[in-house]
Amino acid sequence: MASFTLHGIPVSRGIAIGRAHLLTPAALDVKHYLVPEEQLEAEVKRLQDAIAEVHRGLQALWTDLPRDAPTELGAFIDVHALILSDPLISEAPLDIIRSRHYNAEWALVTQIDELSAQFDEIEDEYLRERKADIQQVAERVLKVLMGTAQLQPAPVTTDAYQPQMIVVAHDISPADMLQFRDRSFIGFVTDVGGQNSHTAIVARSLDIPAAVGMSQASQLIEQDDWVIIDGDAGVVIANPSPLVLEQYRARQVTLQKARKKLLKLKKTPAITLDGTPITLLANIELPDDCPGALEQGAAGVGLFRSEFLFMGRAGHAHRIPTEDEQFEQYRKAVVAMKGRPVTIRTLDIGADKPLDQTEHTALNPALGLRAIRYCLAEPQLFLTQLRAILRASAYGKVRLLIPMLAHAFEIDQSLAMIEQAKAQLREAGHKFDEKVDVGAMIEIPAAALALPMFVRRMNFLSIGTNDLIQYTLAIDRVDYEVAHLYNPLHPAILQLIAMTISAGHKAGIDVAVCGEMAGDVKLTRLLLGMGLREFSMHPAQLLAVKQEILASDLTKITPQTRKILRAMEPAEIAEAVERLGV
Ligand code: PEP
Ligand code: MG
């Protein structure tokens, strides 16, 4: 097989070497995990039971058919029953479970995808249309499966049934990415996507090499092809030659060694050469990320993206997690952080994080009813979340963070709703921290240009550079066609960040950066020079940033940064940033 190389956007560092596993959009909608050997027959039975239940359902439909029902309806039920009895549907997926260790849903969808591809080749239109029937039958079975208990995924081992697989897909939504947390896969490649899309952010937090914006990857790469992902360069090599494979394996080993070495810094306080202490916090998506954050020496959580608790809830009794369900999750994070502060951001739904995959109604979702705008339009949902977060504040230090604020009335309404949630809790006799700190994300240029409005009302600020860049430079963060315009060193961006840090400090309140810039070691000195003392990032980046801090001298960097902030030529800025502190 000929080797070829694709260039795209690097999103998550490191090198992954494995076999391609192509996932179609249909396959992405279901859970994927590998089933341990000893549970295979139970999984086979789960699928058999689901198929039997659909059979019974179809029979019941038949019996309940009114006498005057059109004949097509009966025929339609017959066709579905026939399809369901066909060994290609009722038996082939069982073999996939046994041979490839896929969970039932994944096995079924894999088989349906293979059948669908065969149907596409058929000339006869009547037969070709049966594809839709097959898919409908599969959906019936999937629906039943979703309601049944799922097995625990197999732990990642090097067993024969756990080949090192790399996902290749046209696109992966943040919610889909989230279900790969069990680490059945060692890397991700997608055709579309931007560097700071939430899909990329989740890949980074999983700390698994990934590259997006690979244009035709899902068409060019074939199932089971050998693939190398260079997550630092955004390069994907398919069918590499033995020599190239060897080179990358050697690089992989070097990188792993360097990472191991960094772990020695875990307990070292993050203090610059001139003695300035810096706070390094973690960004998390779910409470289960907390132990990993502590392992990397995080001083707390600077951004808990709570919206991930609201995603991928198909099959749950409630589409939106209840107050108690949320409270348990927030408390879990607070307890796991053992007294360290946990900054919980209220629901930032919308744009590339729809609550429901089918919800794509906004014309321009990034500029639409997103984050706090959505919450203020859904006061009951917002109050429920606020009560759940406040209740968790009885178990440790909690800070509330509000995303996407731009208007004074939005701040005031949010604060009023927090007061309302507190009053409700008092009435219900729940304990909470009466003095819980409330902060604003500064991620809309209008906010960065109207800081007095914020510092007057808020206890702290957190700069969301991902959106600040998206909105200032007018580039959709999910659109790979404009990804080359993403530039954190654009003078306008630097001005907005510097203004926010200095306005916050003048007002005596904390300012953090929690966007992806905080975890980029190439920008650590620049942010320090602007006066930043609080960084929040994916745990995987924390120690590398600490290493940079330990070698930084603010007495040198601060005046040099002042000069950079006066520069307006990108080349001049880029060069000066590289030389900072030297
Ligand atoms: C940001 O916008 O920089 C941020 C931290 O929030 P999110 O990436 O979740 O939009
Ligand atoms: Mg944001």
Choose the residue to mutate in 204, 345, 348 for probing ligand 1, maximizing ligand atoms within 8 Å of C-beta.
Answer: 348
Quickly tell me which residue has 């090198």 as its tokens.
Answer: 15
- Give the Å distance between the CA of 469 and the centre of ligand 1: 10
Residue 369 DSSP symbol: S
Is the predicted pLDDT of residue 273 greater than 90, yes or no?
Answer: yes
Distances in Å between the Cα of 307 and the Cα atoms of 285, 321, 393, 428, 460 are 8, 10, 18, 26, 21
* CB proximity list for 309: less than 8 A, separation 6 or greater: 286, 321, 325, 326, 329
Q: Which two tokens stand for residue 395?
A: 């178990």
Helix (H) or strand (E) holding 480: none
- Please say whether the beta carbons of 184 and 32 come within 8 A: yes
Question: pLDDT class for 542, splitting at 50, 70, 90?
Answer: very high
Nearest ligand 1 atom to the CA of 465 is 3
531: left (phi over 0), alpha (psi -120 to 50) or beta: left
Q: Please tell me the distance from the alpha carbon of residue 250 to that of residue 390, in angstroms, as a whole number.
A: 49
Burial track 359-381 (b if 16+ CB lie within 10 A, e otherwise): eeeeeebbeebbbbbbbeebeeb
190-243 per-position pLDDT tens digit:
998 888 888 888 888 888 899 999 888 998 998 889 999 999 999 999 999 999
CB distance 302 to ligand 1 below 6 Å: no
Is the predicted pLDDT of residue 500 greater than 80, yes or no?
Answer: yes
Q: Which percentage of the chain shows pLDDT scores above 90?
A: 66
Four-residue CA torsion sign, 174, 176, 179, 185 = negative
- Annotation-wise, does 46 bind a ligand? no
> Residue 162: what pLDDT?
53
First to last CA, the chain: 48
Q: Which domains does the chain have, with CATH numbers?
A: 4-27+155-260 (3.50.30.10), 35-148 (1.10.274.10), 282-553 (3.20.20.60)
Question: pLDDT class for 158, splitting at 50, 70, 90?
Answer: very low
Is residue 514 part of the annotated active site? The answer reads: yes
- Give the Å distance between the CA of 464 and the centre of ligand 2: 5
Q: Please tell me the distance from the alpha carbon of residue 189 to that of residue 169, in angstroms, as a whole number.
A: 6
Helix residue ranges per DSSP H, 352-407: 371-377, 379-392
Across the range 473-477, mean pLDDT stands at: 93
Q: Which two tokens stand for residue 561?
A: 């940064």
Nearest ligand 1 atom to the CA of 464 is 3
Pairing relation of β-strands 9-12 and 210-212? antiparallel
Choose the residue to mutate in 284, 305, 367 for probing ligand 1, maximizing ligand atoms within 8 Å of C-beta.
Answer: 305
30-89 per-position pLDDT tens digit:
778 889 999 999 999 999 999 999 999 888 877 877 777 667 677 777 888 889 999 999
Is residue 375 part of the annotated active site? The answer reads: no
Is the predicted pLDDT of residue 296 greater than 50, yes or no?
Answer: yes
Averaged pLDDT of the chain: 90
CB distance 488 to ligand 1 below 6 Å: no
Nearest to 458 by CA among 423, 411, 422: 411
> Residue 363: what pLDDT?
78
Q: E strands of 224-345, at which residues?
A: 226-230, 235-238, 279-284, 301-305, 342-345
CB distance 561 to ligand 1 below 6 Å: no
